[in-house]
Amino acid sequence: MAQRLATEYVKTCLQLTEAEMFKFFQMFVDHQVTLQVKVLENGNQEVVFQDGEGQEIVLSFEQKSGLYECTGSCRLSNTLLANLMRKAVSEFKGSAIVNRIYTGYTMVYYYEHGTVVKIVEQKGSVTSVIYEYKDTIGQLEQLFKKNEVEREIEGIYNEINHLLDLRNAMQDRLIEQQIDARLEKLTHRLFLLEA
């Protein structure tokens, strides 16, 4: 099995309530990671996590609308800290792009709402998609709910029927020509929608 050289968290985004912040800190403390919290004058916090080997993560949390938002990046060579960050992104429904760097290649993991949605392998300039989440059920539900076209078709049929009734009742050739022109446009639109 290949040895991971480093893990790089790029574009990491976590949004935590105050209670979740405490749980987030506790997750690191439970694994003997030392933390220092620096509270800034505007209520924002800067947190330094250090393992016993001198590796550290510095994360800044900005207070926004009652939540603490952490956006940033860090590079880790320590497996413990990398695994704790992975667990935090997953548990707190974060988003991130994570580069797991190995000799000769990099595996790129894309997280959305705490779930891996895509895994890409990069070897030099060659990129291969290893995994991509497809929400087939969600797509089918959206497709089923998306019935604007059917409603437009129904509306066109109703308008065509109304215009045909009006044309049959009319004796004026000029009005018939205007109705015919409108019917021609409607039937063309109907052809496009039903195709």
CATH code of the domain containing 89: 3.30.160.110
Of the candidates 133, 151, 173, which is a domain's last residue? Answer: 133
Tens digits of per-residue pLDDT, 29-60? 999 888 888 888 887 889 888 877 778 888 89
Q: Count of domains in the chain? A: 2
| pLDDT value at 2 more than 80 | no
Mean pLDDT over each residue of the chain, to the nearest integer: 88
Which DSSP symbol is given to 149? H
User: How far is the C-alpha of 20 from the C-alpha of 26, rounded, in Å?
Assistant: 10
Residues 115 and 82 in one domain: yes
Instruction: Tell me how far apart the alpha carbons of residues 186 and 195 are, in angstroms, rounded to a whole number.
Output: 14
Q: Are residues 41 and 99 in the same domain?
A: yes
| pLDDT confidence band for 1 (50 / 70 / 90) | low
Separation of alpha carbons 165 and 24, rounded Å = 70
171 with 99, same domain?
no
The residue among 97, 116, 133 that closes a domain is: 133
Q: 178: domain range?
A: 141-194
Same domain, 19 and 95: yes
- Asked whether residue 75 falls in the same domain as residue 155, the answer is no
Q: What pLDDT is attached to residue 123?
A: 94
In whole angstroms, give the CA distance from residue 59 to residue 63.
13
Instruction: List, as one string, the DSSP characters of 5-41.
Output: EEEEEEEEEEEE-HHHHHHHHHHHHTTT-EEEEEE-T
The label of the residue with tokens 């505007």 reads: 42
Same domain, yes or no, for 22 and 94? yes
Query: DSSP for 32-58?
Result: T-EEEEEE-TTS-EEEEEE-TTS-EEE
pLDDT at 130 > cutoff 90: yes
Instruction: Write down the pLDDT at residue 192.
Output: 84
